[in-house]
Chain A
């Protein structure tokens, strides 16, 4: 395994090898499964916060930096990344979080990782170092390739460094649980809370339990005042949320498939997928369905029926891609721009 520690070494590693699989801490193992002839390049040693300007709301970090370190550094100055990056305690890195677009419950308030990445240095398949975006929170110059890199899974280039916009961290958060009779009631209540005046910072649904978890954040008095309005039962604690963001509920054998969703189709989809074999969660106010299952035979046909796509984050024996993926000429043309020699096809 190659572990470059500078931009030059990353670039050399890419150009010196026919096929390169870029990885970080491999907390989402299925996303970086590489073929036998591939060279594994881990960016886990390319670390460090290179610039943090709390008064500018910006931080520049190298790809291998553990997200936990970024979060701790921001917290010292009362700031945070509002999108709740996932698998932080398990060691997720900055680069891996961007490449996997791993945003958690908090994204419903101000957006996901795509909405907070404002600049990036990417090493492409020719070993070129490309710097786009900027270091200021507002910028409309040039193509927004930093945003484009979100979700590229190492297949389009090695994300070496990223600049994030950061926000002041709310001093306090508290949560409530709403018990629902069925998925349709859950759909209606999620829609209601997402349109409410409460400015929720999480709306997650646990289908088996028929529970909606609602989190409010802000000044303590204000959040508690609003919670009276929200009603429901006293909800998950900070520790519960921390466990939730590690996806501990899915620590079972089998695949972990993520499916982009919209709220209105949630009840139908859940009804079709409900089985004792599947553990399900709906995140981001109906935006993401997570499926953890060792018996995945009907999942593919359900996703196809609804023209949905899924990505398996775990279980190296199961397929990576599920459901219906678009095949557009322009995507292939773009891939050829980033990786003309097909070096990043090392994943399988």
Chain B
């Protein structure tokens, strides 16, 4: 391994961290079960510093990991042992908002929610809203193609990225896409999104902005069974309505949310369904009665329609608190992120329930029902010997179930460290080899975030670390 001298020459000492103590907080990310010690952490303030750092890494064949706020739930920003961490939080300038072109050009360290805040005075917003949007950064969102609660209607991060300027692992600075919503030639922007940091580091990202929906119609319905809630989703989808969000929580999650934020969900519900329609006032006037009639037929035992913004936010408060709330039920939990075809949600949940009974491990279920994205929360106590391993093994069975039903191992968290052993179960040998070749076209020396997405590399130690401190405070959540 090359001496750090050349790298240290690029930064003042307070922005090139070495030694055990300052590096401690970079050893892990949102997937707290893993940790690894980097050799140094650099905190660039300009794109040129990022480029110089990557070129130094390329020249000396030193692995690096780009990191934003470190909220990855798949261990995507976990350091490579003895590699360099490039902390991008100081590249947090919103370079430009153009209200007529309806774009924002941002640096990778800009926090997701700050984009919408900056666009709001122009009557625009940035649609992708992963749950940690108050802290997670656009660079990380692009790398992992983050989702959120609105993906059925609006798509994922990649559907809102028009262009990326990046420094690749070779040191080459490239541009994909740009300001136009049209493009000629291969969609390099689309390929870069979701590449999990394996290609290089984004320096400038051009985002598509949208006018926010004029009005919302938010309904909370309580059901006596999960199955009934699932059937309600099917009825809504088949009716031709296109809700902005369709979310389901099960009894265990409701209990936790109730204890945490007193959201006043229907008492005794085995499941609650949140449906949110959105659009112009004229559209909602038409769709509101349509939804009411539909829901009536699905026989919820209690229905609550938000009459104003405060009531709407209260409904969402229960949902958004769910993950940190479940943390109160158990010292630790693993969140899964599998996807099943929406029509097989019922079957998936039934089988997860069977696995839970069989293993004696509690599983709470929260999911984006509209797009079949499950988030089973597998509860365990990390201080019990073998508990983490047992929870991991149940998580693995759930992922395989998703594949068996024709779905995916990840809807929005990415493969990262966590699910890399499962990627070859989703794609055949030729396609896996092709992915590796694509990666090598960007990074022939395999120094950009190695050990993620692809199986077989040396794994850092799996250990019990407890819940992420920010999660305990309810700032971030694992969905």
Contacts and interface: CB of A to CB of B under 8 A. Distances in A.
Contact of B430 (A130, A191, A285, A329): A130
Contacts of A112: 181-182
A197 B281 CA distance: 9
A47 interface: no
A272 B411 CA distance: 47
A136 B408 contact: yes
Contacts of A124: 434
Interface string A294-338: 000000000000000111000000000000011011110110110
B287 A136 contact: no
B316 to A, nearest CB: 20
A152 B183 CA distance: 11
A223 B285 CA distance: 11
**Most chain B Cβ neighbours within 10 Å, of A219, A261, A330:** A330
Interface string A189-200: 001001111110
Interface string A134-155: 1111111111110111111100
Contacts of A225: 282
Interface string B236-254: 0110111000000000000
B458 to A, nearest CB: 22
A287 interface: yes
Contacts of A138: 147, 151-152, 156, 339, 368, 371-373, 408, 411-412
B400 interface: no
B406 A136 contact: yes
Interface string B400-435: 000000111111111100010001001110110011
B172 interface: yes
Contact of A136 (B99, B194, B341, B442): B341
Given A55-B237, A78-B240, A333-B441, A131 B99 contact: no
Interface in B202-252: 211, 214, 234, 237-238, 240-242
B174 A330 contact: yes
B457 interface: no
A342 B240 CA distance: 46
A32 to B, nearest CB: 15
Contact of B410 (A140, A199, A222): A140
B372 A150 contact: no
A148 B191 contact: yes
B352 interface: no
A287 B180 contact: yes
B249 to A, nearest CB: 18
B441 A330 contact: yes
A128 B427 CA distance: 14
B466 interface: no
Contacts of A103: 182
A191 B419 CA distance: 43
Contacts of A330: 168, 170, 172, 174, 441-442
Contact of B186 (A130, A151, A218): A151
Contacts of A55: 234, 237-238, 342-343
Interface string B157-186: 011000000001010101100111111111
Nearest to A171: B240
Interface string B57-86: 000000000000000000000000000000
12 contacts: A53-B343, A110-B153, A150-B190, A156-B186, A191-B102, A194-B102, A195-B124, A197-B211, A221-B282, A226-B280, A262-B178, A334-B441
Interface of A: 53-57, 78, 101, 103, 107-108, 110-112, 114-115, 124, 128-132, 134-145, 147-153, 156, 167-169, 171, 187-188, 191, 194-199, 218-219, 221-223, 225-226, 258, 260-264, 283-288, 309-311, 325-326, 328-331, 333-334, 336-337
Closest A-B pairs by Cβ, 7 of them? A147-B190, A260-B180, A260-B182, A333-B441, A191-B100, A222-B282, A287-B181
Interface of B: 98-103, 122-124, 144-145, 147, 151-156, 158-159, 168, 170, 172, 174-175, 178-188, 190-191, 193-195, 211, 214, 234, 237-238, 240-242, 279-280, 282-283, 285-287, 339-343, 368, 371-373, 406-415, 419, 423, 426-428, 430-431, 434-435, 437-442, 453
